[in-house]
Amino acid sequence: MKYFIIFGPPGAGKGTQAAPMAERYNLKHISTGELLREEIAAGTDLGMQAKALIDAGSLVPDVIVEGMLAKSFAKGKGYDGFLLDGFPRNLQQAQDLDAMLEARDESVTAVISLMIPDETIRQRISHRAALEGRADDASEATVTNRIKTYHAQTEPLIEYYKYEKKYHEVKSVGTIAQVGGRIKRIMDKLV
Ligand code: AMP
């Protein structure tokens, strides 16, 4: 199985680009944010625990997201691999993912990183708030904390994956199709 990660700050277009990528390369798309929103919508205990943290723009505990991830990995039948969207989000998660995959003689195939400047993040998120109605997009304070969390905890993963020679960066500006084309040029060489 191949294990791709789509990486980037909030609002970089990970979800938008992940859907066509998953389809094109027959990958199971796993969005940890989406899984958490499903838990919240279903009113589960896990969802209730996660909600306050998501609304604050903080990360949900590793053990929660990693449990959801393990369950999703078990549903990979018929796919050529997985496309992780929103995971890993800190160094511990990246190390845990490596350990999880190593235990079955597998490893992360590549990271596709979507890059946008900080000033574009807010614009994109406020546009998405109007379209999707996500509570964590609508609050300015939440968005500010998500950006902070990204820089403090998630951005260091760039060096982690550069060191592993798995890091590929794409400028996520222009149209959805233009960004998709840039991703395709990289992915076609990796699958
Ligand atoms: P996303 O849809 O990826 O923007 O995720 C929405 C929110 O869910 C994030 O701001 C976090 O609060 C939480 N979340 C999603 N993925 C993770 C993760 N890998 N680790 C911790 N929290 C996460």
* pLDDT in 10s for each residue of the chain, 191 residues: 999 999 999 999 999 999 999 999 999 999 999 999 999 999 999 999 999 999 999 999 999 999 999 999 999 999 999 999 999 999 999 999 999 999 999 999 999 999 999 889 999 999 999 999 998 999 999 999 999 999 999 999 999 999 999 999 999 999 999 999 999 999 999 99
- Locate 84 and state its tokens: 């992780």
The pTM is what? 0.96
Cα–Cα distance list, 158 to 61, 65, 77, 123, 165 (Å): 21, 20, 30, 23, 10
- The response to whether residue 64 sits with its C-beta less than 6 Å from ligand 1 reads no
pLDDT (tens digit, 9 = 90+) per residue, 54-69?
999 999 999 999 999 9
Which of 36, 83, 132, 134 maximizes ligand 1 atoms within 8 Å of its Cβ, making it the mutation to test the pocket?
36
| pLDDT score at 118 | 85
Ligand 1 atom nearest 36 alpha carbon:
8
Instruction: Assess contact for 37 and 133: CB atoms under 8 A.
Output: no
Q: Looking at ligand 1, which atom is closest to the CA of residue 61?
A: 21
Report the pLDDT value the prediction gives residue 119, as an integer from 0 to 100.
86
For ligand 1, whether the C-beta of 86 sits within 6 Å is yes
Q: What is the mean pLDDT of the chain?
A: 96
Most informative mutation of 54, 93, 153 for ligand 1 (most atoms within 8 A of CB): 54
Which atom of ligand 1 approaches the CA of 85 most closely?
A: 3
Of 10, 14, 181, nearest to 112 (Cα)? Answer: 14
Burial letters 40-78, b for 16+ CB under 10 A, else e: beeeeebbeebbeebbebebbebebbbebbeebbeeeee
Q: Give me ligand 1 centre to Cα 23, in Å.
A: 22
Cα 71 from Cα 146, distance rounded (Å): 26
